[in-house]
Amino acid sequence: MKYAIGVDLGGTNIVSILINENGKILARDKRSTEGLKGKDHVLERITESINAVSSVKCQVSRPKKLKSTTDIIGIGIGTPGLVDMDKGIVFEAPNIPDWDNVNLSKIYRDKFGLPTFIENDANSAALGEWWIGAGKGTKNLICLTLGTGIGGGIIIDGKVYHGRDGYAGELGHISLSFDGPECGCGNPGCLEAYASAIGILKRTKTLLKDKKNKKSRILKLAAGQISNITPAIITQAAKNGDMLAKKIWKDTGFYLGSGIASIINIFNPEIIVLTGGITGAGSLLFKSMWETVRRRAYKNPLKNLDIVKGKLPENAGAVGAAKTAFQRIENNN
């Protein structure tokens, strides 16, 4: 039996797992990223997390410094930012200062003596859900990570589709309109600008300034502080019957459904997996998403299509990162 370590580097937490080639998770570690303390600190946190999962009591041999001669054959790291997979270098990650031009592959290969591969975080989540999550057994899967921003991952024939330079899968940056809200990427009207947490909260703040929404209790649930509002608070308000909160989720479902309709017409996928905090809104969001998809997408590719929540909300990224290591070692690159 072969084992790999998968690391999911997030803006808030680092999640690491030890997993075998059959997809069984044998150990897991979660610790805060503490990104604001800078690059070297985060690199050390990753080291601690890898040590934690590789030294637990399990079937795997566990020397103090892991060697490639052990049963653990490699490390995969899912990271935000632009990823040069061949060189193992990550560029321009948001949320972690100095996280630019970092040769993660070299750093951990030298430290642990194991081949180390990196992958974009959304691609890792897609691969994780494909391998042992909601997309298990499929060939073609699309994953949308609905969080602070919106990431995407495209799985074709069981592999991440990377495009020419590794930048493919930016599904949050499908344009939904010509003159919509400005996105972080600089383009107006991206799916992310409408349906990410950032987009939803921006729209909420604008709506709360409108006098006709003065009955809304969203602000009260946020202790009167507009900066305290989160998607979870909007969900809570909607569940309490707040009309504005319901409208915000209904509109978000329409925007999300509009983007997904295009994705369906482009990919005719077997399954679309939605992950990330925004999915916590549940049917408040999904009902209008489905209505929009049914209205806007072609009928034929809808017949056999599943659009589901991810099954690995805590682990998809780390699982996919480990799978990246397995796949790349198998393909000798």
Identify the H or E element spanning 283: helix 283-296
Binding status of residue 290 toward a copy of itself by CB under 8 A: no
Residue type at 293 in one-letter notation: V
Candidate residues 44, 101, 106, 167; the one interacting with a copy of itself per rule CB under 8 A: 167
The nearest distance, CB 84 to a copy of itself, in angstroms, is 11
Binding status of residue 164 toward a copy of itself by CB under 8 A: yes
The nearest distance, CB 264 to a copy of itself, in angstroms, is 9
Which of 145/216 has CB closer to a copy of itself?
Answer: 145
Eight-state DSSP code of residue 206: H
DSSP 298-316: -SGGGTT-EEEE-S-TTTH
Buried b (16+ CB within 10 A) or exposed e, 274-298: bbbbbbebeebbbebbbebbeebbe
Task: Supply φ then ψ for residue 73, to 5 degrees.
Answer: -95, -15
Sign of the C-alpha dihedral computed for residues 36, 226, 240 and 238 taken in this order:
negative
Candidate residues 23, 158, 280, 301; the one interacting with a copy of itself per rule CB under 8 A: 301
Candidate residues 182, 304, 330, 333; the one interacting with a copy of itself per rule CB under 8 A: 304
The nearest distance, CB 99 to a copy of itself, in angstroms, is 17
Sign of the C-alpha dihedral computed for residues 223, 228, 233 and 234 taken in this order:
positive
Residue type at 35 in one-letter notation: G
Cα gap 88→205, rounded to integer Å? 40
Q: In the window 183-242, what residues touch a copy of itself (CB under 8 A)?
A: 185, 187
How many residues touch a copy of itself under the rule CB under 8 A: the total is 43
Binding status of residue 246 toward a copy of itself by CB under 8 A: no
Candidate residues 173, 195, 229, 312; the one interacting with a copy of itself per rule CB under 8 A: 173
Q: In the window 248-267, what residues touch a copy of itself (CB under 8 A)?
A: 258, 261-262, 265-267
Binding site for a copy of itself (CB under 8 A): 82, 139-140, 152, 154, 156, 161-171, 173-178, 185, 187, 258, 261-262, 265-270, 295-298, 300-301, 303-305
